[in-house]
């Protein structure tokens, strides 16, 4: 792992501060009804009783039969009542197990054992089974599944830890993935020999990508969104922005500037985009267009006119046009979205031919459109867009891509990540550049101004004002931006980014 902190202990479960049902289950076990769940304190990293999986599976099968009979007799029963009845049966079965185990051992089971068993049975019935505790842990950033019993957690601070099996076989792992797809509302998506690829958003917003059959085992990665509801000021606390950047980005949104957020994978592009959306008026009408919903704008409690459009995979059968029957792509969604009286359009990630429709929207429609794109450096964003144009139907030209960028795009916001975990440091995610597009340059490429950039002469890798005013400064001033803020060469950072390796350039 080249210096990355690695731990392998299958007895360690993540400690998220308590299972969502801990208080409820415990209260029911004591014969009381709990109105809501509360956290159960735990020591981070401390071993906990995991619960006997075979016992949990047995109890789950018993309760599942009771649940099946219940739904047959009361088909209109709502989900909350269904869960309540099942929790009662779980408590009864755990009490029977506890009595039998105490008789066999000669000593009573502990409260922790009983509670862990209740949690595991509930997770097997209603949630993600043995995978669920890792989805509940706010410290976990990625879950790497390399088969049923080779599972790793990647934490936000760079630590990587191996944990216990989440399934006993390939077949059980595949069934777990299918159940996650069904439970997430993506009923048309599955994973099998006929459909070896699965991509979807889980109910908590985590992004799952799985592959089977074309690999020696089933692989899956779950990318968790640890920062979902933060606003621009919250990103200041996380070190992504300073107050001057906040004021500038806030003005860009209010002045309806078209902005692309670029950066490498896991740099924090989506988190920044969510924060920018919170600057919109709650009544402003806009659409989010995504392959999997990762922006949550229609359900965050802030927006009242957010329309969420999500692409759909086909059912595997070939349609008349050669595409899979039932497939709806981002490009398919772009054109009808433009006819829905939108004030803005937001594309979660541009990575295919939809870039053409997106750039057309930037040049023809109202301003204030937002999107993200993968790029390793800010200076190659134009070439990334041109590459996507070349891959689009009709093999559109590089010159057309450059012209539409120049005519439609106002700013590129580049998000960087410096990972020093391999040398004992930490991960730093921050905005490093804000580039203004000012038109077509002499070479045919878009002309630019660097408004914010690193100042390496003072050891600062994060974005600070370059002293250059954007050409649209008057528009930004009209929505409240103080242009004097652009005269602070150190920005508003309290001190340079604390790096173990400081750039020598």
The CA distance from 329 to 347, in Å, is 12
The CA distance from 479 to 269, in Å, is 25
More confident call, 3 vs 188? 188
Q: Please write the tens of the pLDDT for every residue from 386-413.
A: 999 888 867 788 999 999 999 999 999 9
The CA distance from 375 to 373, in Å, is 6
Take residue 415 and report the two structure tokens written for it: 């998000």
Q: What pLDDT is attached to residue 280?
A: 94
Q: What pLDDT is attached to residue 188?
A: 67
More confident call, 43 vs 249? 249
**Pick from 433, 383, 409, 436: which is nearest to 263 by CA?**
433
Specify which of 29-33, 225-229, 276-280, 386-390 reaches the highest per-range mean pLDDT. Answer: 276-280
Please determine, for residue 229, whether its predicted confidence score (pLDDT) is greater than 80: no
H helix or E strand, kind and range, residue 63? helix 53-73
User: Cβ contacts of residue 169 below 8 Å, gap of 6+?
Assistant: 148
Q: Do 491 and 464 meet the contact criterion of CB atoms below 8 Å apart?
A: yes
Q: Where are the alpha helices (DSSP H) in 107-169?
A: 111-126, 132-136
HEC readout, 70-108: HHHHCCCCCHHHHHHHHHHHHHHHHHHHHHHHHHHHCCC
Take residue 294 and report the two structure tokens written for it: 């990762």
Total Cβ atoms within 10 A of residue 442: 6
Q: Do 270 and 293 meet the contact criterion of CB atoms below 8 Å apart?
A: no
Provide DSSP, 259-305. Answer: EEEEESTTSSHHHHHHHHHTTS-TT--EEEEESS--S-GGGSSS-SS
pTM: 0.76
pLDDT band at 12 (very low <50, low <70, confident <90, very high): very low
Please determine, for residue 16, whether its predicted confidence score (pLDDT) is greater than 50: no
Query: What is the mean predicted confidence (pLDDT) over 126-152?
Result: 92
Q: What pLDDT is attached to residue 31?
A: 40
414 phi and psi angles, rounded to 5 deg: -105, 125
User: Cβ contacts of residue 138 below 8 Å, gap of 6+?
Assistant: 16, 17, 226
Please determine, for residue 276, whether its predicted confidence score (pLDDT) is greater than 90: yes
Query: What is the mean predicted confidence (pLDDT) over 208-216?
Result: 94
Domain residue extents for the chain: 232-316+324-487
CA angle 153, 272, 366 (to 5 degrees): 140
Q: What pLDDT is attached to residue 165?
A: 92
In the CATH scheme, what is the code of domain 232-316+324-487?
3.40.50.300
Total Cβ atoms within 10 A of residue 321: 7
| β-strand partners of 422 | none
The CA distance from 121 to 123, in Å, is 5
């Amino acid at each position: 792992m080249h210096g990355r902190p690695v731990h392998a202990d299958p007895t360690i479960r993540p400690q998220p501060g308590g299972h969502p049902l801990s208080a409820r289950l415990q209260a029911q076990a004591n014969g009381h009804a709990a109105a809501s769940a509360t956290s159960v304190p735990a020591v981070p990293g401390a071993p906990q009783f995991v619960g006997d999986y075979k016992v949990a599976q047995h109890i789950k099968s018993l309760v599942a039969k009771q649940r099946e009979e219940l739904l047959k007799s009361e088909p209109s029963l709502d989900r909350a009542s269904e869960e309540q009845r099942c929790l009662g049966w779980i408590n009864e079965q755990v009490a029977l197990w506890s009595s039998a185990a105490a008789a066999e051992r000669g000593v009573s089971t502990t409260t922790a054992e009983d509670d862990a068993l209740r949690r595991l049975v509930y997770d097997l019935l209603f949630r993600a089974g043995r995978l669920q505790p890792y989805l509940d842990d706010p410290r976990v950033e990625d879950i790497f599944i390399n088969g049923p019993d080779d599972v790793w957690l990647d934490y936000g601070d760079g630590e990587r830890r191996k944990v216990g099996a989440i399934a006993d076989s390939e077949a059980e792992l595949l069934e777990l993935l299918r159940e996650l797809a069904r439970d997430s509302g993506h009923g048309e998506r599955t994973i099998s020999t006929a459909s070896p690829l699965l991509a979807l958003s889980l109910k908590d917003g985590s992004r799952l990508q799985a592959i089977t059959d074309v690999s020696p085992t089933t692989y899956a990665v779950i990318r968790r969104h640890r920062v979902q509801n933060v606003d621009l000021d919250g990103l200041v606390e996380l070190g992504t922005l300073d107050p001057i950047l906040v004021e500038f980005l806030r003005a860009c949104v209010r002045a309806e500037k078209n902005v692309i957020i670029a950066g490498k994978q896991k740099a924090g592009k989506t988190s920044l985009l969510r924060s920018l959306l919170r600057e919109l008026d709650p009544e402003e009408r806009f659409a989010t267009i995504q392959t999997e919903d990762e922006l949550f704008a229609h359900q965050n409690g802030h927006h009242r006119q957010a329309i969420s459009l999500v692409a759909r995979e086909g059912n595997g059968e070939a349609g008349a046009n050669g595409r899979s029957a039932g497939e709806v792509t981002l490009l398919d969604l772009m054109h009808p979205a433009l006819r829905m009286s939108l004030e803005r359009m937001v594309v979660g990630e541009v990575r295919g031919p939809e870039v053409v429709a997106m750039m057309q929207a930037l040049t023809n429609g109202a301003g204030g459109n937002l999107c993200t794109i993968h790029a390793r450096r800010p200076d190659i964003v134009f070439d990334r867009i041109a590459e996507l144009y070349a891959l689009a139907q009709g093999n559109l030209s590089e010159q057309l891509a450059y012209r539409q960028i120049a005519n439609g795009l106002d700013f590129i916001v580049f998000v960087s990540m410096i990972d020093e975990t391999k040398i004992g440091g930490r991960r730093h995610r921050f905005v490093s550049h804000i580039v203004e597009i000012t038109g077509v340059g002499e070479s045919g490429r878009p002309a630019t101004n660097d408004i914010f950039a690193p100042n390496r002469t003072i050891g600062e890798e994060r974005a600070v004002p370059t002293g250059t005013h954007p050409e649209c400064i008057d528009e930004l001033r009209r929505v409240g931006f103080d242009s004097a803020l652009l005269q602070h060469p150190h920005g508003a950072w309290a001190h340079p980014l604390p790096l173990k390796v400081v750039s020598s350039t």
